[in-house]
Amino acid sequence: MEIQPYLPDQANEIADLFHASVHAIDPAIYSLEQQEAWAPSPPDYTVWKDRLEGQQPYVAMVDGQIVGFIELEADGFIDCFYTHPDFQRQGIASKLYTYILNVANRQGIDQLSVQASLTALPFFVQRGFTIVRKNELYRHGVTLINYDLVKPLSSDQ
């Protein structure tokens, strides 16, 4: 696996990965209606292209295929962080997280923060993030639950 900066010609593949990842969640965790509110079908490629141009995510590649991506803002906020459903539980997310942790330390960021879904919550808690609060978001008339988490950084992380 290789991690590289985002390239503009990757926008559609990233949008498709996001959509597939959300729609692969067990409906017992997020219902099909919640999944569709979170990641509408089909993806809006124009919106994604504009978003990714501004966010400049880091992209995980395996044999020329995008298998995951993560966004780190200048203030330490981790925005989108997704792994392709066919590559989950293979260490992709852990490697992407380690990568941005190193970037954050190099940039002198003193804290990471994230809004984690129910499915991502254990990943972040296992890495030392603390839950600040539970959120109820409303998208397209549907309620979604996520959590605000933070993790202070030090020079030895």
pTM above 0.75, yes or no: yes
Pairing of strands 77-83, 111-117: parallel
Between CA 82 and CA 14 the distance in angstroms is 9
Asked if pLDDT for residue 145 goes beyond 90, the answer is yes
Specify the pLDDT at position 102: 96
- The string of pLDDT tens digits covering residues 53-67 is 999 999 999 999 999
CB 112 within 8 A of CB 76: yes
Which fold does the domain 2-109 belong to in CATH? Aminopeptidase (3.40.630)
Rg (CA), the chain: 15
Q: What confidence category does residue 156 fall into, taking pLDDT thresholds of 50, 70 and 90?
A: low
Lowest model confidence (mean pLDDT) among 115-119, 144-148, 152-156? 152-156
* Cα 93 from Cα 40, distance rounded (Å): 23
Question: What pLDDT band is residue 154 in, cutting at 50, 70 and 90?
Answer: confident
DSSP codes joined into one string, 27-44: TTTS-HHHHHHHSPSSP-
